[in-house]
């Protein structure tokens, strides 16, 4: 390898912000709406204490008071400010769901990639365990476990994380196996690259987008799941404000024509929908780039 | 093909066994202790020991598992800790209610979702299709209780068309039952509709893009004939699978919906028992739910084997 | 003239919607005339619009495409002025279509007879009983086994070559005036291709059917077409009598197409068996499952600076041989020597230096490069990995490699998705060169590329070989290119080396082995009388009976 004149040797590496900018520029309106809702929720999680007009447990108005200038969303079943409760509830519900998702993701990806790369008995064993757990509806299995372990927060997080990680396991195993048979991975193996290099440089970058999408889906699932459990009275316990529990506590208002339980329920629905809208865009983009890659072959 | 079905049946039975082990083990080997769970605050060493004795918790777990399983197969679901009465008669009526509700929801959801899926596949890319796609995506992600309460607020409280509570009992005639069950059934329909519809659409589109449909077009076959004679036999298998999978989901979704409408089904029974820590009831209802789920999944697989021409007519 | 015209397309324009939503023309003002009983070959590379034109003759456009201008006059009527029902009434009766993939074009859920007779029955040309009888006659004529009963089978119960013939029968049931054949033999092995080609041609001749024969392979179309129309990017390049196009092409693009097929690239004179081979495959027997041997006692040597072609049809074991050489599949018996040194059978036990000496180039450049890495990383990695180059040193070396593969320095920043098929393959070549190897294994490196682009790649490989004294193990199913580039040729069949020798020995008749004879005889040549000659002279090799011709 001899040197050549340095004029041709100069080139500039474009920055990664370009890709982010293109990602945002091509985003359809619905996905934007979703992204904005998610950002608002994150903001609320961070600053609930600052934003809330009252304290979490303070009785400030009448039971199920209608919305008024002092209490924008009215009062709850004890006369606490509904808006304040929803802001604090965001913090509880979203952070629990988030921690559970991070846990399930870590477990699922580690187990899934290991199963795919190592193969053999470990793969079979892990896969059969996951099959067995997935043969039972998640909610039912969670109820069975909760009936014995109770509704401590760490129990809830643990149960959701374990049950959810089965799905992450399946996906990450499948993705890793797909990528592992690609010829560019074979090329790296033929070059003599180590397993670590292949995993981090060749496999992982190509699994990032589907995994981000899956993270969104899993988060939406964990979030809905914890909300449902709380709604059933088997999740987060009062006096902590959480959205699912608030729906339950205010449920009887509905038969008097009072919309109180709908506010927290709508907050749950909005965040779940928002996540799905963004994930849908990521997945559609993924499919398009795959299609484009195949168009190139002619 | 028979061997395939046989293998799937055997796998189904194996799954059922594994599921029963998991549910039993879930209540046994986890660090929580049933006896302390029941007694809660009032637990003393003496009465804990008494409860353990009474529940037979001192015997080895596998012995109790087989006893439980054999009893279950024979229709003996054990005794409730709450009211000290046998579980089977309490479950019977509720199981029937739950199945009735799920069936009613399925009767509305299945034809509606397949129809909408077909239309949106045929009108692929139009405004109708896109609108349906966004709306159904939203419907998939919205929790059951949100839809339930919205329906109660508008249809039952504001409009007064249907009752908001679904407290059915044996004395009601069929018509009354249907009226009372209408709202929960509609809620369940909306929850499952979107998923089935999206899958139907995807299945039809992938078949309609295949070369043999183009070939039929180029043979001058009429469009409706292409859809019915060429596309339908090939989308049947994926659609059946999706439908059955959603029925399985319906059985679970029923739990939340029953609580929303205080419908006396098995879901509510199970939720109550979980909060009362009535472990034998939780085990029994949990296993029944899980069994239904496993059986429906098995049906989905077997029907897709049956609908596959390659397997039906081997070489 | 206009009396005998069957199809007259005037200023045909077809548009598709691009990924950005804007329409673009995939067929741009093309005029096409076809007389009754005439066969017109439509030739061009991918994206030339030839299939789209073929389908347009039946006033059909695929999803996402629309016929937006011009006239399609079929038998005196402009199809574009007809109603949907009127057009459907002519499809399948007056004009019929034969697709590339028979396996995909038959509905898996319906019996063959139902599909073959569908057009005739639906358009009330005959009743079902007569249609089935007609189908059985055609099956018989097309040499299908058990013609009376084969129609009761389902598509997956019949082999690929047979299915292609059933599709021909399906097209012929109503005795159409026009046949549209869209690459009907491209998916087949050469020895099957020749049989299907012969039957299709005889069908067209005996029924005096006009046909549009769509293909990218000039040699194939030369056997069957009266005239040839050359297309590029949706535009008409040149149209003329077959012999005129082959021997006296006017347009520069046509000339390029023809020379891509015929040009002699390798001008070396073979000097004899290698004395100190770079690669020596010795008594290799290999198996994927430990039961069935996919390679049986293979012995092949490759000398320094030599190109050895390994040829065979699908399932011959030629790609498996590459896997054994690279160490991906350790052989059950035998060993692979490099520069006289025995390599460890398994990849993991080979040293970096051993791995460096043998590099590989793949068939599909799309999946051979990590889509998330820039060209600079793809080429740069082996430089760092094998030679420890970093920073400016590495950049300079990389730029030199880009220069060697005739690509401008700015390509270094591109991702594979931003390159054309030919450019991708060039980058793969540069990645192999970066290791400064002694041997490069080329696994079907040109078969995913258009012919002109492929010719460019072959020239590049040849130039690099001379500059760097590289040895190539050139795996291919395409005997057309073997003759132009290989010093020696190894013929494989069902895991065995049937015959090996200098390319001249292998290709000069008489060949020693019957399979080699058949394989070489099946490779279409660029002259109009090739098929006739082969069928006349080599009747013993092919199982095409005289029935179809009668």
Residue C175 near residue C207 (C-beta atoms within 8 A): yes
Overall pTM > 0.80: no
Tell me what pLDDT residue A2 has.
36
Sequence-distant (≥ 6) Cβ neighbours of residue A296 within 8 angstroms? C366, C417, C420, C421, C424
Q: What is the mean pLDDT of residues C443-465?
A: 88
Indicate whether this complex's ipTM tops 0.90: no
Closest chain B residue by Cα to residue C62: B214
- Mind telling me how many Å the CA of A287 is from chain B's nearest CA? 14
Question: Which single residue is written with the structure tokens 């028992």?
Answer: B273
**Which band of pLDDT confidence, cut at 50, 70 and 90, is reported for residue C542?**
low
Identify which of A236, A139, A129, A133 has the alpha carbon closest to the alpha carbon of residue B285.
Answer: A139
Closest chain B residue by Cα to residue C120: B219
Bridge-based pairing state of the strands C333-338 and C496-502: unpaired
- Mind telling me how many Å the CA of A57 is from chain B's nearest CA? 24
User: Which among B215, B221, B315 is the nearest to C99, CB-wise?
Assistant: B215
Residues of C with CB under 8 A from a CB of B: 55, 58, 60, 62-63, 85, 87-93, 96-97, 99, 101, 104-110, 118-119, 122-123, 153-154, 156-157, 170
B63 vs C: CB within 8 A: no
Residue C494 near residue C316 (C-beta atoms within 8 A): yes
Instruction: Flag if B19 and A148 touch (Cβ within 8 Å).
Output: no
DSSP string for C234-280: TEEEEEEEHHHHHHS--SHHHHHHHHHHH---------SS-SS-SEE
Tell me what pLDDT residue B52 has.
67
Sequence-distant (≥ 6) Cβ neighbours of residue C311 within 8 angstroms? C318, C475, C476, C477, C479, C482, C489, C490, C491, C492, C519
What are the chain B neighbours of A259 within 8 Å (beta carbons)? 153
Instruction: Flag if C58 and B218 touch (Cβ within 8 Å).
Output: yes
**What is the distance between the alpha carbons of residues B114 and B121, in angstroms, rounded to a whole number?**
10
Tell me what pLDDT residue C549 has.
40
- Mind telling me how many Å the CA of C275 is from chain A's nearest CA? 27
A237 vs B: CB within 8 A: no
- Mind telling me how many Å the CA of C400 is from chain A's nearest CA? 7
Residue A153 near residue A180 (C-beta atoms within 8 A): no
pLDDT digits (tens, 9 = 90+) for C35-44: 988 999 999 8
Residue C476 near residue C444 (C-beta atoms within 8 A): yes
Instruction: Flag if B315 and C109 touch (Cβ within 8 Å).
Output: no
B38's enclosing H/E stretch is: helix B34-39
Task: List the single range of B23-32, B35-44, B101-110, C163-172 with lowest mean pLDDT.
Answer: B35-44
Instruction: Flag if B23 and A275 touch (Cβ within 8 Å).
Output: no
Q: In what order do the strands lie in the sheet with C293-302?
A: C293-302, C279-287, C333-338, C341-342
Size of interface A-C (CB pairs under 8 A): 104
**What is the distance between the alpha carbons of residues C257 and C218, in angstroms, rounded to a whole number?**
8
**What is the distance between the alpha carbons of residues A106 and B182, in angstroms, rounded to a whole number?**
43
Chain B (68-97) residues lying within 8 Å, Cβ to Cβ, of chain A: none
B32 vs C: CB within 8 A: no
Tell me what pLDDT residue C289 has.
78
Tell me what pLDDT residue A81 has.
83
Residue C135 near residue C165 (C-beta atoms within 8 A): no
Q: What is the mean pLDDT of residues C66-92?
A: 90
Chain A (25-84) residues lying within 8 Å, Cβ to Cβ, of chain B: 30
**What is the distance between the alpha carbons of residues A241 and A224, in angstroms, rounded to a whole number?**
16
CB-based burial label for B228 (10 Å; 0-12, 13-18, 19+)? exposed
Tell me what pLDDT residue A144 has.
86
pLDDT digits (tens, 9 = 90+) for C204-263: 888 889 999 999 888 888 888 999 999 998 899 999 999 999 889 999 999 888 887 776
Q: In what order do the strands lie in the sheet with C210-215?
A: C95-98, C178-182, C210-215, C39-43, C227-232, C235-241
pLDDT at residue C283 tops 60: yes
Residue C282 near residue C321 (C-beta atoms within 8 A): no
CB count within 10 Å of CB C244 equals: 14
Chain A (147-206) residues lying within 8 Å, Cβ to Cβ, of chain C: 182-184, 186-187, 189-193, 201-202, 205-206
- Mind telling me how many Å the CA of C249 is from chain A's nearest CA? 25
Instruction: Flag if A148 and B279 touch (Cβ within 8 Å).
Output: yes
What are the chain A neighbours of B256 within 8 Å (beta carbons)? 139, 228, 231-232
User: Which among A9, A11, A184 is the nearest to C369, CB-wise?
Assistant: A184
What are the chain B neighbours of C106 within 8 Å (beta carbons)? 212, 215
Tell me what pLDDT residue C308 has.
92
* DSSP-based three-state secondary structure for C472: strand
- Mind telling me how many Å the CA of C96 is from chain B's nearest CA? 7
pLDDT at residue C363 tops 60: yes
Identify which of A172, A160, A230, A165 has the alpha carbon closest to the alpha carbon of residue A206.
Answer: A172
B171 vs C: CB within 8 A: no
Residue B243 near residue B281 (C-beta atoms within 8 A): no
Q: What is the mean pLDDT of residues B174-186?
A: 81
Higher pLDDT pick, A62 / C350: C350
Closest chain A residue by Cα to residue B267: A140
Identify which of C106, C187, C205 has the alpha carbon closest to the alpha carbon of residue C150.
Answer: C106
Residue C89, CA distances (Å) to C94, C95, C151, C175 in order: 9, 10, 24, 14
Instruction: Flag if A9 and C396 touch (Cβ within 8 Å).
Output: yes
**Beta bridge mates, B253:** none
Share of residues in chain C with pLDDT > 90 (%): 37
pLDDT at residue A233 tops 60: yes
Instruction: Flag if A187 and C46 touch (Cβ within 8 Å).
Output: no
**Which band of pLDDT confidence, cut at 50, 70 and 90, is reported for residue A277?**
confident
pLDDT digits (tens, 9 = 90+) for C151-198: 999 988 888 778 888 998 999 888 899 999 998 887 778 887 888 888
A62: its two tokens: 């009448």
Instruction: Flag if C92 and B315 touch (Cβ within 8 Å).
Output: no
pLDDT digits (tens, 9 = 90+) for B54-85: 666 667 777 878 888 888 888 777 777 777 78
pLDDT at residue C130 tops 90: yes
Task: List the single range of A54-63, B94-103, C161-170 with lowest mean pLDDT.
Answer: A54-63
**Which band of pLDDT confidence, cut at 50, 70 and 90, is reported for residue C550?**
very low
Q: B154: which DSSP letter?
A: I
Which of A241-250, B304-313, C296-305 ranks highest by mean pLDDT?
C296-305
Chains in contact with B, counting 3 or more C-beta pairs less than 8 Å apart as contact: A, C
User: Which among B134, B271, B286 is the nearest to A232, CB-wise?
Assistant: B271
Instruction: Flag if C122 and B225 touch (Cβ within 8 Å).
Output: yes
Identify which of A207, A147, A199, A122 has the alpha carbon closest to the alpha carbon of residue A172.
Answer: A207
CB count within 10 Å of CB B3 equals: 7
**What is the distance between the alpha carbons of residues C490 and C498, in angstroms, rounded to a whole number?**
8
B153 vs A: CB within 8 A: yes
B252 vs A: CB within 8 A: yes
Tell me what pLDDT residue B315 has.
62
* DSSP-based three-state secondary structure for C210: strand
B102 vs A: CB within 8 A: no
**What is the distance between the alpha carbons of residues C148 and C54, in angstroms, rounded to a whole number?**
32
Q: What is the mean pLDDT of residues B164-172?
A: 70
**What is the distance between the alpha carbons of residues C61 and C55, in angstroms, rounded to a whole number?**
6
Domains and their CATH numbers in chain B: 36-76 (no CATH), 93-267 (1.10.3720.10)
Mean of per-residue pLDDT scores for chain B: 81
Q: What is the mean pLDDT of residues B135-141?
A: 80
Bridge-based pairing state of the strands C5-17 and C95-98: unpaired
Tell me what pLDDT residue C545 has.
45
Tell me what pLDDT residue B57 has.
67
């Amino acid at each position: 390898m001899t040197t050549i004149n340095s004029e041709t040797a100069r080139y500039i590496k474009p920055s990664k912000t370009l890709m982010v900018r293109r990602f945002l520029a091509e985003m359809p309106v619905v996905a934007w709406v979703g992204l904005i809702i998610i950002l608002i929720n994150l903001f609320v999680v961070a600053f609930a204490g600052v934003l809330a007009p009252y304290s979490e447990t303070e009785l400030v108005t009448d039971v199920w008071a209608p919305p008024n200038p002092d209490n924008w969303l009215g009062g709850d079943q004890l006369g606490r400010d509904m808006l304040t409760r929803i802001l604090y509830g965001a913090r509880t519900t979203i952070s629990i769901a988030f921690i559970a998702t991070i846990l399930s993701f870590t477990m699922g990806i580690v187990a899934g990639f290991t199963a795919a790369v190592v193969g053999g008995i470990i793969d079979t064993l892990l896969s059969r365990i996951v099959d067995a757990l997935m043969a039972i509806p998640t909610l039912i299995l969670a109820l069975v476990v909760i009936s014995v372990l109770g509704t401590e927060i760490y129990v809830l997080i643990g149960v959701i994380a374990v049950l959810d990680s089965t799905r992450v396991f399946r996906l990450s195993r499948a993705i890793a196996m797909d990528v592992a048979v690609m010829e560019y991975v074979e090329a790296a193996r033929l070059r003599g690259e180590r397993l670590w290099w292949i995993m981090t440089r060749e496999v992982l970058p190509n699994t990032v987008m589907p995994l981000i999408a899956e993270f969104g889906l899993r988060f939406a699932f964990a979030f809905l799941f914890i909300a449902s459990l709380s709604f059933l009275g088997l999740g987060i316990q009062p006096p902590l404000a959480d959205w699912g529990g608030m729906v339950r506590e205010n449920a009887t208002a509905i038969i008097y024509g009072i919309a109180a339980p709908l506010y927290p329920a709508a907050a749950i629905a909005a965040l779940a929908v928002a996540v799905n809208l963004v994930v849908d865009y990521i997945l559609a983009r993924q499919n398009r780039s795959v299609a484009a890659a195949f168009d190139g072959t002619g | 093909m028979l061997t395939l079905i046989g293998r799937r049946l055997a796998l189904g039975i194996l799954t059922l066994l594994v599921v029963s082990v998991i549910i039993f083990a879930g209540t046994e080997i986890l660090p929580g202790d049933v006896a302390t769970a029941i007694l809660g605050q009032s637990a003393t060493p003496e009465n804990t020991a008494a409860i353990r004795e009474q529940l037979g918790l001192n015997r080895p777990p596998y012995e109790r598992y087989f006893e439980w399983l054999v009893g279950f197969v024979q229709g003996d679901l054990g005794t409730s800790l709450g009211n000290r009465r046998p579980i089977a008669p309490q479950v019977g009526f509720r199981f029937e209610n739950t199945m009735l509700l799920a069936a009613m929801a399925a009767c509305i959801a299945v034809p509606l979702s397949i129809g909408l899926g077909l239309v949106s596949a045929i009108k692929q890319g139009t405004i109708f299709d896109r609108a349906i796609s966004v709306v159904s995506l939203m419907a998939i992600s919205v929790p059951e209780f949100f839809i339930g309460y919205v329906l109660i607020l508008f249809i039952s409280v504001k409009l007064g068309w249907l009752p908001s509570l679904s407290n059915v009992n044996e004395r009601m005639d069929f018509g009354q039952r249907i009226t009372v069950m209408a709202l929960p059934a509609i809620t369940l329909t909306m929850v499952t509709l979107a998923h089935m519809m999206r899958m139907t659409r995807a299945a039809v589109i992938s078949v309609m893009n295949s070369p043999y449909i183009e070939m039929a077009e180029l043979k001058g076959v009429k469009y409706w004939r292409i859809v019915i004679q060429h596309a339908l036999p090939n989308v049947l298998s994926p659609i059946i699978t999706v439908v059955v999978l959603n029925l399985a989901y319906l059985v679970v979704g029923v739990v939340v919906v029953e609580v929303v409408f205080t419908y006396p089904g098995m879901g509510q029974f199970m939720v109550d028992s979980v909060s009362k820590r009535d472990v034998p009831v939780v085990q029994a209802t949990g296993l029944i739910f899980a069994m239904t789920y496993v059986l429906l999944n098995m049906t989905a697989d077997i029907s897709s084997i049956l609908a596959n021409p390659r397997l039906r007519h081997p070489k | 003239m206009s009396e005998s015209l069957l199809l007259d397309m005037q200023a045909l324009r077809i548009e598709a919607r691009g990924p950005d939503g804007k329409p673009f023309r995939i067929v741009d003002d093309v005029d096409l005339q076809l007389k009754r009983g005439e066969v017109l070959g439509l030739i061009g590379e991918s994206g030339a619009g030839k299939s789209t034109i073929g389908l347009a003759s039946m006033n059909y456009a695929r999803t996402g495409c629309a016929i937006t201008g011009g006239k399609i006059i079929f038998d005196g009527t402009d199809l574009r002025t007809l109603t949907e029902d009127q057009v459907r009434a002519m499809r399948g009766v007056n004009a019929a279509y034969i697709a590339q993939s028979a396996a995909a074009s038959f509905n898996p859920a319906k019996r063959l007879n139902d599909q073959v007779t569908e057009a005739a029955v639906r358009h009330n040309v005959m009743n079902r009983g007569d249609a089935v009888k007609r189908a059985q006659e055609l099956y018989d004529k097309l040499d299908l086994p058990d013609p009376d009963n084969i129609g009761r089978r389902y598509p997956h119960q019949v082999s690929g070559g047979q299915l292609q013939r059933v599709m021909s029968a399906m097209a012929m049931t109503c005795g159409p005036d026009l046949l549209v054949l869209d690459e009907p033999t491209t998916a087949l092995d050469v020895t099957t291709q020749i049989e299907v080609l012969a039957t299709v041609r005889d069908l067209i001749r005996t029924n005096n059917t006009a046909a549009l024969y769509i293909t990218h392979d000039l040699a194939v179309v030369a056997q069957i077409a009266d005239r040839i129309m050359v297309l590029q990017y949706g535009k008409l390049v040149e149209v003329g009598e077959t012999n005129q196009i082959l021997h006296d092409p006017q347009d520069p693009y046509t000339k390029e197409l023809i020379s891509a097929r015929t040009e002699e690239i390798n001008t070396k004179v073979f000097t004899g068996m290698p004395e100190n081979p770079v690669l020596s495959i010795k008594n290799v027997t290999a198996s994927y499952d430990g039961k069935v041997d996919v390679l049986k006692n293979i012995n092949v040597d490759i000398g320094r600076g030599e190109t050895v072609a390994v040829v065979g049809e699908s399932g011959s074991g030629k790609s498996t041989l590459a896997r054994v050489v690279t160490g991906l599949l350790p052989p059950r018996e035998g060993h692979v020597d490099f520069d006289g040194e025995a390599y460890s059978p398994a990849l993991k036990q080979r040293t970096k230096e051993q791995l460096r000496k043998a590099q590989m180039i793949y068939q599909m450049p799309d999946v051979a490069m990590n889509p998330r890495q820039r060209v600079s990383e793809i080429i740069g990695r082996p430089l760092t990995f094998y030679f420890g180059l970093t920073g400016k040193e590495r950049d300079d070396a990389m730029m030199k490699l880009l220069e060697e593969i005739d690509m401008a320095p700015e390509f270094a920043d591109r991702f594979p998705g931003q390159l054309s098929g030919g450019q991708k393959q060039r980058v793969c070549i540069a990645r192999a060169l970066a290791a400064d190897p002694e041997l490069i294994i080329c696994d079907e490196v040109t078969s995913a590329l258009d012919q002109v682009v492929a010719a460019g790649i072959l020239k590049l490989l040849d130039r690099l070989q001379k500059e760097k004294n590289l040895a190539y193990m050139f795996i291919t199913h395409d005997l057309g290119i073997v003759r132009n580039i290989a010093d020696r040729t190894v013929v494989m069949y069902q895991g065995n080396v049937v015959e090996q020798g200098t390319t001249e020995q292998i290709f000069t008749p008489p060949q020693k082995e019957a399979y080699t004879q058949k394989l070489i005889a099946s490779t279409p040549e660029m002259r109009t009388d090739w098929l006739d000659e082969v069928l006349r002279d080599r009747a013993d090799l092919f199982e095409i009976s005289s029935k179809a011709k009668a």
